[in-house]
Amino acid sequence: MSLSTLCLRCGLCCDGTLFTHVPLQRTEVAPLQALGLPVKTREDGSSVLPQRCAALEGSRCTAYAERPEGCRRYHCHLFSALAEGEVSLDEALAVVERAHALLASAGGERGPEVEDYLDRHFRGRHRRSTAP
């Protein structure tokens, strides 16, 4: 229950914050298009689902049962930490609230502070400091 609570309060993996697209398998294209979701074809011929996902309403996926394999498999770093008991639900929700606040205050300009926060807590990457 707490994992779904986290996802329903977050939505950063689907709203275009963490990713620009989700790679699709050939068999996923027609069902997604039938749902009215825009599918893009890349120069190499592969198909992707652009993010912000058109199936996202608030933080809820309206195509959850039909979501692509890439969405089914993806778990952000925070989700994994919660699943492993490394953080509590309250701690995880505080991280999500802070991320939303940072994004709101940054407007369209996401500088190093915002990207570092997203990398550390959601993408599971740590940037090297460029300071001496």
pLDDT of residue 126: 61
Q: What is the pLDDT of residues 43-78, one digit of tens each?
A: 999 999 999 999 999 889 999 999 999 999 999 999
103 and 130 inside one domain: yes
Question: Rounded to whole angstroms, how far apart are CA atoms 37 and 31?
Answer: 9
Question: Rounded to whole angstroms, how far apart are CA atoms 56 and 123?
Answer: 20
pLDDT of residue 128 exceeding 80, the answer is: no
- Reported residue count of the chain is 132
Of 54, 73, 92, the last residue of a domain is 73
63 and 91 inside one domain: no
* Secondary structure of 72-122 in HEC code, one letter for each residue: HHCCCHHHHHHHCCCCCHHHHHHHHHHHHHHHHHHCCCCCHHHHHHHHHHH
Q: What is the pLDDT of residues 69-102, one digit of tens each?
A: 999 999 999 999 999 999 999 999 999 999 999 9
What is the domain extent for residue 68? Answer: 19-73
Of 30, 51, 73, the last residue of a domain is 73
| Burial of 13 from C-beta contacts in 10 A (0-12 / 13-18 / 19+) | buried
Q: What is the pLDDT of residues 11-28, one digit of tens each?
A: 999 999 999 999 999 999
pLDDT of residue 125: 74
80 and 57 inside one domain: no
Q: Are strands 60-61 and 47-50 parallel, antiparallel or unpaired?
A: unpaired
How many separate domains does the chain show?
A: 2
56's tokens: 């996202």
pLDDT of residue 132 exceeding 50, the answer is: no
Full-model pTM: 0.86
